Amino acid sequence: MNSNHLSDRLHAVASFIPKGSTMADIGSDHAYLPCFVVKQGIVQKAIAGEVVEGPFLSAKKQVEEDQLSDFIDVRKGNGLAVMEPGEVDVITIAGMGGPLIAQILEDGKNKLPGVKRLILQPNINAISIRDWLVPNEWKVIDEQILMEDGKIYEIIVAEPADQPITPYSPAERLLGPVLLNNRSNVFKEKWQQEYQQWERILNELQEAGNIERIKEKKKELEEKMTIVKEALKWKNR
């Protein structure tokens, strides 16, 4: 992967960026994504944000090598602290855990006015993002699920809601409202894998006694397994 040829995962993220946008890529690593979308004429101006010194320097080097310093500003800082309110209209955050992405959004809420789209790619626990979006009045307008190098990734695209959002059902929270509606083959494979893992954990917990903490964990797993079993049954109808 480089700034001319993105991974399938980042290419999918890029596909959701509206042409003519200004963007901030949070946790930009080598800045491949902002470099690519600027080269493609999708984005006019970009911020590449990094909190860690090594990736920050890598991003600066890549932007300089691509001669894009007039278009991409590489900034060192934590989360949305690298941007000012109203400075961009699209934010991308890719390659982190869902809880961390949700925390970045929560910590940087004061930077979100004027942002028209969030494109979020969690590696795990996408439910944490959906749980943050609804009470903060962001609606999920699209989702994508894809497999690359044997790993399955979800992408969540959200925009500010113009009216109160109806809370998601337990199935929509866990599986994704758009992904649940589409139920692709990759979706089915992901949740079959998750179900089998939960089943193994549940079998181990059966031998761990009946203390309250164990009982709560077993109940949580059983509820998620019921949701997934129903979703996979819908797919097979």
Determine contact, residues 32/59, Cβ cutoff 8 Å.
Answer: no
The number of CA neighbours under 13 Å toward the Cβ of 29 is 12
Determine contact, residues 25/34, Cβ cutoff 8 Å.
Answer: yes
Which residues have C-beta within 8 Å of that of residue 93, sequence separation ≥ 6? 25, 26, 27, 101, 104, 105, 118, 119, 120, 121
Give residue 235's pLDDT: 45
Strands (E), 80-162: 90-96, 117-122, 138-148, 151-160
Give residue 233's pLDDT: 80
Q: What share of the chain is helix, strand, coil (3-state, %, to 5)?
A: 45, 20, 30
Q: Tell which residue, 173, 117, 185, 172, has the closest CA to residue 145.
A: 185
Q: What is the pLDDT of residues 142-151, one digit of tens each?
A: 999 999 999 9
Give residue 3's pLDDT: 86
Give residue 236's pLDDT: 41
**How confident is the prediction along the chain (237 residues), in pLDDT tens digits per residue?**
888 999 999 999 999 999 999 999 999 999 999 999 999 999 999 999 999 999 999 999 999 999 999 999 999 999 999 999 999 999 999 999 999 999 999 999 999 999 999 999 999 999 999 999 999 999 999 999 999 999 999 999 999 998 888 999 999 999 999 999 999 999 999 999 999 999 999 988 877 667 788 888 899 999 999 999 998 885 443
Give residue 206's pLDDT: 78
Give residue 237's pLDDT: 36
- Alpha carbon 28 to its chain centroid, in Å, reads 13
- Model-level pTM? 0.94
The CATH number of the structural domain formed by 8-168 is: 3.40.50.150
CA distance 155 to 129: 11
For the chain, what is the largest distance between any 2 Cα atoms, rounded to a whole number of angstroms? 62
Give domain limits for the chain: 8-168, 185-236
